[in-house]
A = this chain, B = another copy of it.
């Protein structure tokens, strides 16, 4: 069975040594009391919970899956899930990021991201029950009225109730403008909602007393398309005046999907038959409101793949040190043994280092965005808030798509390290590949993320957000480019920064001629910009490592950071040479294909 050792030291390195989060959080009034000890202690405790409670039910949950009873519409989660939820609730984990006025601990988002990384490393399917619950809380915090907040937020913060997002219908996923679910206003201010939803993660289960569904539906007089969608809160059980669980509402699970992975999470078909719901936010503005939750979910999906990348790496590394097979081409390295451990082979190292570099780059990116998320909400200076908000918006599709693409590749490399054993279920590696696969799809496919990046986040504001990121790169390049020992990291960063600028201008010009050029370039463009962000991440981490080594501290740990950065620039960064060509080769080879698709 796979092992997991919470990578606390690596996490602390990113938080405290690279991002320097504590003084930055202390600038925010809500987090003025946060200190490194508190953060580290919470993360350490979370690591124990994940390793001791979630990891042991990960493979068994995959084998067993969820069970649906058509007679009662009930879903039973795998053995151990309910008990784990009870322990999770009792330890107060659901309230980590929740607001203190609703019973939360009010810790910063970055702590939530670190915990979320470990939860997903040990059990992605289980963690989806809690992740969506936090997402619903954030959505209601942003768009709920006072009564809705007073009712639901304490229940979500305590983990007594869980949450879902009900968007997709059989005929529409990406294209929510096509939604058919109807909401009819009632005299008492509530709505009667009817329709069919599919792919509802955590839609029904036996973990909690109630489930709070956030449902997109259309009013009778709604305009066509995505500007005619409203948002409703639709609880499984109607709350009593004392916030207890009252009558069963007309929303029920009508089936669960059999999927490639995340078997422990119930992916539900939900039927609404005159279900009672209450509108959240304004009529016909539901999709915009829902984007609070979707954006949060997109960041969370990146962190899901970050967790899977780390755990896959740890297990492949242990196997590569243990498994004896063949001699090094340059001569035996363990002559006393019947063969060398496979970690002596260069291509095995390439596979391991690929996963490690994707994990370390992803960790920097995910934590940095989490920090900026808090800054964007809470910083006293409006300019800082605006800059943080712009960078979060720019980087969200990269967190989602770049980390999940890399995570799937990493899980596959780590499976490959095990040879034939990687294909066998009991080793757990193939589960990581199957679980990681969904992350490229849900919360907006990676193509949608790529279109969001190039279309909405870059070209729509004439590259203003991208320039803000470019300025950070430039400042770093100017500060460190003069340092001889930093050249190997700064030069490729600076070079790619220039190339991204030129590429963006070229694609912007093309898009003015034909908007479809955006779609043709989107995926390779996201790969290129993702590498620019990772180049910045590895250069910044290398800078810290060099300084620490110069100051005489923990040589091995910091040398490892430098070696991983060198690997990244030598073996992963070259992908940009291909991706730039692919992005530049344009629309014609894709669309002048009428004979192919005749």
Contacts and interface: CB of A to CB of B under 8 A. Distances in A.
A514 interface: yes
A291 interface: no
A423 B445 contact: no
B567 A577 contact: no
Interface string A345-369: 1111110110010000000000000
Contacts of A419: 173-174, 441, 445
Contacts of A420: 168, 173, 198-199, 441-442
A445 B345 CA distance: 13
Contacts of A261: 423
B596 A329 contact: no
Contacts of A585: 570-571, 574
Size class of A's contact patch?
35 or more
8 contacts: A168-B420, A347-B519, A347-B523, A349-B590, A569-B589, A570-B586, A576-B578, A577-B577
A151 interface: no
A433 interface: yes
Contacts of A451: 347
A562 B347 CA distance: 37
A245 interface: no
A259 interface: yes
A148 interface: no
A72 interface: no
How many copies of this chain sit in the oligomeric assembly?
A: 2
Contacts of A506: none
A565 to B, nearest CB: 10
Contacts of A173: 325, 419-420
Nearest to A514: B330
Nearest to A569: B589
Interface string A561-588: 0111011011100111111011001111
Given A420-B168, A441-B419, A514-B330, A343 B597 contact: yes
**9 closest A-B pairs (Cβ-Cβ)?**
A559-B595, A570-B589, A574-B581, A346-B519, A260-B430, A578-B578, A329-B515, A570-B585, A560-B595
B574 A260 contact: no
Contact of A582 (B321, B566, B574): B574
A593 B349 contact: yes
Contacts of A70: none
A592 interface: yes
B593 A425 contact: no
Nearest to A447: B347
A258 interface: yes
Q: Kindly name the residue among A423, A441, A562, A586 whose own CB sees the greatest number of chain B CB atoms within 10 A.
A: A423
Contacts of A595: 555-557, 559-560, 562-563
A140 interface: no
A514 B430 CA distance: 34
Interface of A: 168, 171-175, 178, 198-199, 257-261, 317, 321, 324-326, 328-331, 338-339, 343, 345-350, 352-353, 356, 408, 412, 415-416, 419-420, 422-426, 430, 433-434, 437-438, 440-442, 445-447, 450-451, 455, 514-516, 518-520, 522-523, 555-557, 559-560, 562-564, 566-567, 569-571, 574-579, 581-582, 585-598
B174 A326 contact: yes
Nearest to A357: B596
A440 B414 CA distance: 13
B515 A326 contact: no
A349 B258 contact: no
A346 B590 contact: yes
Given A329-B518, A515-B330, A596-B564, A257 B424 contact: yes
A542 to B, nearest CB: 13
Q: Which one of A326, A420, A579, A586 has the greatest number of beta carbons of chain B within 10 Å?
A: A420
Nearest to A440: B416
A570 B440 CA distance: 24
